[in-house]
Copies of this chain bind each other. A is one copy, B any other.
Amino acid sequence: MSNTFVFGHKNPDTDTITSAIVYAYLKNQIGHSAEAVRLGDVAGETAYALGFFGVEAPRLVTSVEKGQPVILVDHNEFQQSADGIEEAHILEVIDHHRIANFETADPVYYRAEPVGCTATILLKLFKEHGVEVPKEIAGLMLSAIISDSLLFKSPTCTEQDVKAARELEQLAGVSAEEYGLDMLKAGADVSSKTIEDLLTLDAKEFGMGDYKVEIAQVNVVDPQDVLGRQSEIEAAIHERISEKELDLYFFVVTDILNNDSVALALGKMANKAEDAFNVVFTNHTAVLKGVVSRKKQVVPALTEALSN
C-alpha cells in the first residue's frame, strides 16, 4: 500500500492546499509516511502564497483506490472529496466545517473545531506533538487564515484564528496585513479568468433538505468585473444545472475591500433565496450586505429556507 494521502476538498482553496502540505509535514515529523496531494487546480491566490514561501504545489490526484489510507483536511462531505472516497480507508479528518454525508466503517481520529480555518487547528496539533513550525510552514498556515477570514473580516473568524495568525506572522517573518492584502488581491484578479473558471474554482455542492444546491464563490476587488459578463455566466450556469440536476445554483461575488457580496441565483428553487436573505432579487441578482462567508452565512440561510 502506498503512502497515506493527505488532501483537502475539490476546487481547492488556499486553506485546503496548504493544510494538506502542512499536515503531511507534521505527520512525517512524527513518524508517519504521508504525502500531500490535491484534487484540483491551484488558484491564483494559493499560487501566490506557495510562490512567496517557496513551496511546491502537491501533485494532482483525482480518485483514490479501494483501501487507500487517506487523511482528509478542510472537508468531510464525500461529494466534496476524491472520487472513490467511500471505499478508501479514512484514518483521520482535521476540519472546521459542519459534518454531513460522512461515514466510516471503523473508528477514526476526527478533530473538528468551530474555528475559521483548518490551519488554526493544525497549529494546536504542532504544539500537542511538540514539533517546531518552520518558517515556510508558518507562512502557509498564515496564508490559510488570511484567506479563510478575508484578513479577519469574515464572521467565521474567531479569536483563536487571530491569535494563531499573530503567532504565525512572527514565525513567518511577514506582516499579516501587508502580505495578506497582496495575497488576496492576487486571488481577486479576475481579468484572466474564463466563465468556466469563475464557476468552478471555488464551487461546492450541498444537499439541503431534499434539494441539490451548488454554491460558487469568487473574490473580487470590484463586483462589476464579474457581473459585466452576467449573460454569459447565466448561460453557463443553466448548463451546469441541467448536467448535474441541481435545484439551485447560487453564485456569490464577494467584494474583498467592502466585505459585501452580490449573489446570482438560478434554478427552480431560486425564489427561496429571497426568503433565505430577506432581500428581493432583481434580474436574478441581489446585494447581500455584510455577507462574505459561504459557510457561516450562505449555507445556513439557504439550508433553512430549503428545509421549510
**Chain A positions near chain B (C-beta within 8 angstroms):** 96-115, 295, 300, 303-304
Contacts and interface: CB of A to CB of B under 8 A. Distances in A.
Nearest to A111: B111
A303 B105 contact: yes
B114 A107 contact: yes
B96 A107 contact: yes
18 contacts: A98-B103, A98-B105, A98-B107, A99-B99, A99-B108, A100-B103, A102-B102, A105-B300, A105-B304, A106-B114, A107-B112, A107-B114, A107-B115, A108-B112, A109-B114, A110-B110, A110-B112, A110-B113
Nearest to A207: B103
Contacts of A295: 107
A100 B96 CA distance: 18
Contacts of A99: 99, 102-104, 108, 110
How would you classify the secondary structure of chain A's contact residues: helix, strand, loop or mixed? loop
Copies of this protein, total:
2
Nearest to A110: B112
B103 A109 contact: no
A106 B295 CA distance: 8
A224 to B, nearest CB: 33
B105 A113 contact: no
Given A107-B114, A111-B111, 4 more contacts: A98-B108, A107-B295, A108-B114, A109-B113
A249 B45 CA distance: 54
Nearest to A102: B99
A115 B107 CA distance: 8
Nearest to A101: B103
Contacts of A110: 99, 110-113
Nearest to A116: B107
Contacts of A103: 98-101
A107 B97 contact: yes
Nearest to A307: B105
Contacts of A97: 107
